[in-house]
Amino acid sequence: MAKTDLKSRISAWRNGSEGFFRWISDTKPQIPSEKGGYEPYVLPNEEVKEAIRQALDGGFATVVLCWPRRHGKTVVSALIVVWRFLTRKTQTVAIVANSERQSVDTAFKLAKTIIEQTPYSKLLVDEGSIKVGADSIAYEALGNIIQGFPANAASLYGKKLSVAQVSELHAARTDTVYQTLASSTIDTEDGLVLVDSTTGSRSSPLFTLAQVAERGADPSLLFSHIQYRDLEDAIARGPRWIAPAKLRSRAAQMLPAEFAQQHLNQWTAASSALFPAELIEKCRESYAIDVPTLVNGAAYAVGGGLDRAYGFSLHGDCTVTTATLKTLIGEEEHFYVLASDAITFSSAAGIKRAFTKYAQSFGMSRAGIESYNAQDIAAWCGEQTFDHELVSATRERQASAFTAVYNAASEGRLHIHPAFERLLAEMAVFEYRLESTGTSKGSIPVFEAAKGLHDDHVYSLAWSIFALRDIELNPYEVVGLHCDAIGPAASLCVLNGGSIVPMCADQCKSMTNVTDLYNKYRQRAGCAPISFNEFFSLKVTNIGSHTVSR
């Protein structure tokens, strides 16, 4: 390309959104590909194109791209930063990390990648015109620099900036860094603050900006908000690179408020009920609290849970032990609460009696014990026949435990007998809120009862289910297969890898055991049970030896 031609192109690239889109078309900036490697950036849809057009042509001093996760908001911010860096002079750009200590994070690395991988700018890097450092990128001929900064207001005071970029403002605990950045661009003619973030709680600094934009109180603020009504709307209108199956998976695995915030990009309330009334009714079910009756021949495991309070707690907290049975109905794991007991005076003797009863009456094989004030119980459990786990109730672990409980409840796999009134009552007032971490992780669920109420039974339930998380159940088990048949019958029998049920089946104990399991399966299978042969092949697991007469 001739120098005069290049000059005219660069001049054309500077002109607002038209120049930006021409720069995209001419240079084909490279971004990380979802398949690995790099690929040219392509505008995903007209909605994003229009948002960019408004941002670059409206004379705005602050542009907020509030889009759902994986919608390319940070990519667009990085592209705007690189575009200005390559096409204008004396640009001082600050890219702020999501950490108070680190100066380089996703956004800076993305801008660096675009510059190093795009052929046009890569040539400038290779010839030394652009110098790329660990936390800075300089284009000395134009007097431009991109500098990474930690999310620390002290490191930003006194800076005069042309462009300031900050990601995930919804996760910030205060707006101090944002306000410092905004003040650093006000004496630059085309100063711009770029914010890319998903939504958050209504107490976040980002929501404050959304309210300012909604009131029209600041004409220099553009708040681009992409959100969806529900999962189906997100699938219908979302970008091409988000597979519907993966989005459905996220919806199934996340708590409702989490999914609404991160993938539907809706503002969330300060707190939400984890178990709405209709969900509790879905769990409420009368059943025989008897393990053989409940499992009906299917494999199972029983877990115990302990949430311990101090004796004579001033807040009315109590110590609760729980026993929960995990079994398979079809291919799905179901949970039945077998016991939910408040322990008088939180005594160690009472806890030990309860766990001993669970082991003897229900066959409890594993217990989850919240570590708070429970080291003595953990030591005692080490001498018992069942396994135990001392659980440190970090927020991450609570999120994992309660998400599992919620999923089981919402899918009709959690069964609670009406006799456990305290547990059901506590579930009705159990809430969670999304709390900012102040890091790139964004927010994390925090769980507790509504103010002034209690959640001991709910926590104990969660730990009893959590204790069973690593136990994989086989649908139907037999303890050994033993064949005494002689001649062709042995090799032809379905239990020995053949395809028939031979005449000697009536006298075969192993065949009788498998037939009993099949009959129990048919009682649960509904109107379309599989055949006996398929049942044995697909669902029965032999956990003992297999002998055949020769």
Concatenate the DSSP letters of all residues of 370-428 into one string.
ESTT-HHHHHHHTTSSSEEEEE---HHHHHHHHHHHHHHHHTT-EEB-TT-HHHHHHHH
- Tokens 């085309």 locate to 190
Q: pLDDT value at position 25?
A: 95
- Rounded mean pLDDT, 377-398: 95
Higher per-residue pLDDT: 201 or 168: 168
Q: Quick one: CA torsion of 9, 14, 18, 20, rounded to 10 degrees?
A: 90
Q: At residue 422, does pLDDT exceed 80?
A: yes
* Distances from the Cα of 131 to the Cα of 32, 138, 243, 495, angstroms: 21, 5, 38, 72
Question: Which of 56-65, 204-213, 436-445 shows the lowest mean pLDDT across its residues?
Answer: 436-445
Q: pLDDT value at position 312?
A: 54
> Beta 38-40 vs 192-197: how paired, if at all?
unpaired
With b for 16 or more beta-carbon neighbours within 10 A and e for fewer, the 99-117 pattern comes to eeeebbbebbebbbbbbbb
Beta carbons within 10 angstroms of residue 305's beta carbon? 28
- Percent of the chain at pLDDT > 70 equals 96
- Rounded mean pLDDT, 504-518: 94
Q: Where are the domains of the chain?
A: 3-226, 272-466, 476-548
Task: Tell me the pLDDT tens digit for each residue of 438-460.
Answer: 555 567 889 999 888 999 999 99
Residue 23 pLDDT level (bands cut at 50, 70, 90):
very high
Task: Determine the Cα–Cα distance for residues 20 and 279; give it in Å rounded to an integer.
Answer: 50
Q: pLDDT value at position 438?
A: 58
Task: Determine the Cα–Cα distance for residues 323 and 289; give it in Å rounded to an integer.
Answer: 11
Strand order in the sheet with 136-139: 130-132, 136-139, 144-149, 92-96, 163-167, 192-197, 62-66, 221-225
- Rounded mean pLDDT, 357-386: 95
Residue 4 pLDDT level (bands cut at 50, 70, 90):
low
Phi, psi for residue 198 in degrees, rounded to 5: -80, 175
Q: At residue 262, does pLDDT exceed 50?
A: yes
Phi, psi for residue 41 in degrees, rounded to 5: -70, 135
- Rounded mean pLDDT, 364-388: 95
Residue 373 pLDDT level (bands cut at 50, 70, 90):
confident
**8 Å CB contact between 440 and 99:** yes
Residue 240 pLDDT level (bands cut at 50, 70, 90):
confident
Fold of 272-466: Nucleotidyltransferase; domain 5 (3.30.420)
Token reading at 528:
């379309």
Task: Tell me the pLDDT tens digit for each residue of 319-337.
Answer: 999 999 999 887 789 999 9
For all residues of the chain together, what is the average pLDDT?
91
Q: At residue 2, does pLDDT exceed 60?
A: no
* DSSP structural state of residue 90: S
Q: At residue 219, does pLDDT exceed 60?
A: yes
CATH class of 3-226: alpha beta
- Percent of the chain at pLDDT > 90 equals 71
- Rounded mean pLDDT, 372-396: 94
Q: At residue 107, does pLDDT exceed 50?
A: yes
Beta carbons within 10 angstroms of residue 25's beta carbon? 10
Q: At residue 161, does pLDDT exceed 80?
A: yes
- CA torsion sign for 236, 242, 245, 250 is negative
The helix-helix angle for 16-27 and 119-126 (nearest 10°) equals 80
- Tokens 């900012």 locate to 436
**Sequence-distant contacts of 510-513: CB under 8 A, at least 24 apart:** 510/478, 510/480, 510/481, 510/482, 510/483, 513/478
Task: Tell me the pLDDT tens digit for each residue of 486-498.
Answer: 888 999 999 999 9
Task: Determine the Cα–Cα distance for residues 80 and 163; give it in Å rounded to an integer.
Answer: 10
Task: Determine the Cα–Cα distance for residues 174 and 206; give it in Å rounded to an integer.
Answer: 10
Beta carbons within 10 angstroms of residue 128's beta carbon? 8
Report helix, strand or coil for 366: strand
- Tokens 């053949």 locate to 498
CA–chain centroid gap for 326, Å, is 23
N residues, the chain: 550
Largest CA distance in the chain: 97
Q: pLDDT value at position 314?
A: 46
E-state strands within 416-536:
430-436, 443-449, 476-478, 481-483
Higher per-residue pLDDT: 174 or 396: 396
Task: Determine the Cα–Cα distance for residues 517 and 255; give it in Å rounded to an integer.
Answer: 36
Higher per-residue pLDDT: 167 or 137: 137
Closest CA to 294 of 332, 341, 328, 339: 328
- Rounded mean pLDDT, 503-517: 94
**8 Å CB contact between 269 and 202:** yes
- Tokens 């930006």 locate to 20
Q: pLDDT value at position 403?
A: 94
Residue 342 pLDDT level (bands cut at 50, 70, 90):
very high
- Tokens 């005219």 locate to 8
Task: Tell me the pLDDT tens digit for each residue of 458-477.
Answer: 999 999 999 999 998 887 88
Q: pLDDT value at position 156?
A: 84
Closest CA to 544 of 499, 504, 513, 508: 513
Task: Tell me the pLDDT tens digit for each residue of 64-79.
Answer: 999 999 899 999 999 9
